[in-house]
Amino acid sequence: MNLTSRILIGMGSGLLLGAFLQWLSLPVDHFISTFFTYGLIDAGGDLFITLLKMMVVPLVLVSLTCGSASLGATGKVGRLGGKTIGLYLLTTAAAVTLALTLALIINPGLSASDQGVAESAGFVANEAPSIKDTLVNIIPSNPITAMAEGKMLQVIAFAVLLGLAMSKAGEAGARVLAVFNDLNSIVMKLVTMLIQLAPYGVFCLMVTLGVTVGLNEITKLLTYFLTVVLALLLHMTLVYPALLHFFAGLNPITYLKKMREPMLVAFSSSSSGATLPVTMRTVEKRVGVSNNVASFAVPLGATINMDGTAIMQGVATVFIAQFYGFALGPEQLLMVILTATLASIGTAAVPGVGLIMLAMVLGQVGLPLEGIGLIIGVDRLLDMMRTAVNVTGDGAVATIVAKSEGELDLEVFHDPEAGWVVEPDRH
C-alpha cells in the first residue's frame, strides 16, 4: 500500500476513534483517558511533531549550503544567475501573496461562531518581531546560537555565506563540500524515514483532534484543502502564463501542453528531485531551451523554486492562526511572505518536506507548531499537487530566461510534435 493510502487510512481511522472516544464522554481520570487517549496517543502525536521540529535546522543548513556552494562553483552568479534566481524568488513571493490573499478572503479557519480553540488550549501567541528587526538581525552574531535557538532566517543567511565561501576556497572548500554532500544524502534519507512514520503520527494527532475538537471544527479542514487547491490552480493558470506572455512573448497554452509529462510524474512522485530528469528532457527537447540554460535553471529550480510549498505555507499559516483565534497583522503577513520566500531556497525536493519548513514559518509569527497536526492528514494529497506546480514553474523560468538570452529554439517551441518519443516500427 502506498504512502498516500496509508496516511488517508491513518487520518480517517484516527478521526473516527477520536470521535468515538468523545462520544463515550469518559472522565479525565478514567483508565482509558489517562493511559491511552492522553497518554500513549497524545505522546505519539507529540513525538511526531518533535521529529518534524528536529529536522528543520539540519535540513536547511546542509541543503542550502550545498546548493550555494554549487551555484558559486559554476561561475554563473552573473547575469544568467541573477535573472534565474530573481524570477524564482518573484514567483515564490507572488505565490505566497496569492495564498494569503485567498485565505484572508475565504477564512478557512473560522467557524460559524468565530471561536477557535486558543482559550481551551491555553495558548497565547508570542509577539512577532518587526520587519526592521528581522532585516537587521538576519546576519547572526553567533551562528551556533542561531541554530540552537532555531532562528531560521539567520541560519539561512549563514548557510548561503558558508556555501559561497566553500566555492571560493579551492581544495579546502572542495574537501569540506564533499563532507556536506555526504551529510546532505544522509539528511535526505533521514527525512524519507521520517515521512514514512507519517501515517502513525497522523493517526495519533487525529485521535487527539477527534477527542478535543467538535465536528464543526473538523469540517474547517475541507475549506483549508479547497483553498490551497484553488490557490495552486490560480498560480499555475494565471501567474506562470502571465510571466510567459509579458516577459517572453510566448503562448502559455503551448507551454503548458508540452509540460504535461513532467507534471504527471511530479504529481505521482511528489518529488521535484525525482522528476528532474523528465523535466530536463522536456524543457530541452519539447520546449526548445538550450542545454546551457536548462542545465543551470532547472536543477536550481528543483532546489529553490517551491511555489507550491509557499502557497501551502501561506494558507496554512492563516488557517492555523484563525483556528486558534488569533488575527495576523500587516507586519506578521509581511513576515510570512519574507520567511516563506527565503524558506523555499532551503526546501529539499523530496516528498513531505514542506511540513518541516512550515514549522519555521509558524515559529516566525509566534503560532503553535502543534497546528501542523490540523493539516497533516491532507498534506500528502496537496503535496502531489504542489509538486506539479513546482516543476511547471521550473520550466517556465528556464523558458523565460532562455528567450531573453536568445537560447530558445522557437521552431521547437511551436512544433507540437517536437521531442515526442516515437515507437519503432516492428513490422
Backbone angles phi, psi at 289, to 5 degrees: -75, 135
- pLDDT at residue 207 is higher than 60: yes
- pLDDT at residue 203 is higher than 70: yes
Out of 253-267, 316-330, 338-352, 405-419, which region has the weakest mean confidence (pLDDT)? 338-352
- Provide the grid cell at 39: 497518554
Has this prediction a pTM greater than 0.75? no
- Provide the grid cell at 255: 507551454
Cβ-contact 195, 58 below 8 angstroms: no
Average pLDDT over residues 91-107: 89
Sign of CA dihedral 220, 380, 312, 41: positive
CB atoms within 10 A of CB 49: 22
Per the prediction, the chain carries an average pLDDT of: 78
- pLDDT at residue 236 is higher than 90: yes
- Provide the grid cell at 388: 506539479
- Provide the grid cell at 7: 496516511
- Grid look-up 535526505 returns 188
Q: Write out pLDDT tens, residues 297-343.
A: 887 787 678 888 889 888 888 888 888 877 777 877 887 887 777 76
- Provide the grid cell at 69: 556552494
Which pLDDT does position 76 carry in this prediction? 54
Cβ-contact 167, 173 below 8 angstroms: yes
CB atoms within 10 A of CB 289: 29
Which pLDDT does position 219 carry in this prediction? 63
Backbone angles phi, psi at 240, to 5 degrees: -60, -45
- pLDDT at residue 112 is higher than 60: no
Cβ-contact 335, 427 below 8 angstroms: no
d(CA 212, CA 202): 15
- pLDDT at residue 122 is higher than 60: no
Beta-ladder partners of 289: 408
Q: Write out pLDDT tens, residues 169-186.
A: 889 989 999 999 899 888
Domains along the chain with CATH numbers: 3-414 (1.10.3860)
Which pLDDT does position 425 carry in this prediction? 46
Beta-ladder partners of 408: 289
Which pLDDT does position 114 carry in this prediction? 42
Task: Decide: helix, strand or coil at residue 289.
Answer: strand
Q: Where are the alpha helices (DSSP H) in 127-271?
A: 131-136, 143-149, 152-168, 170-196, 198-212, 215-218, 220-234, 240-248, 252-258, 260-269
Cβ-contact 102, 315 below 8 angstroms: yes
Task: Decide: helix, strand or coil at residue 320.
Answer: helix
> Which tops the pLDDT comparison, 37 or 400?
400
Out of 89-98, 118-127, 207-216, 271-280, which region has the weakest mean confidence (pLDDT)? 118-127
- pLDDT at residue 129 is higher than 70: no
Which pLDDT does position 118 carry in this prediction? 40
Cβ-contact 227, 102 below 8 angstroms: yes
Which pLDDT does position 229 carry in this prediction? 92
Q: Write out pLDDT tens, residues 23-58.
A: 887 777 777 777 887 888 888 888 877 777 787 778
Which pLDDT does position 17 carry in this prediction? 87
Nearest to 128, CA basis, from 159, 92, 153: 153
Average pLDDT over residues 64-91: 74
Q: CA angle 243-248-250, nearest 5°?
A: 90
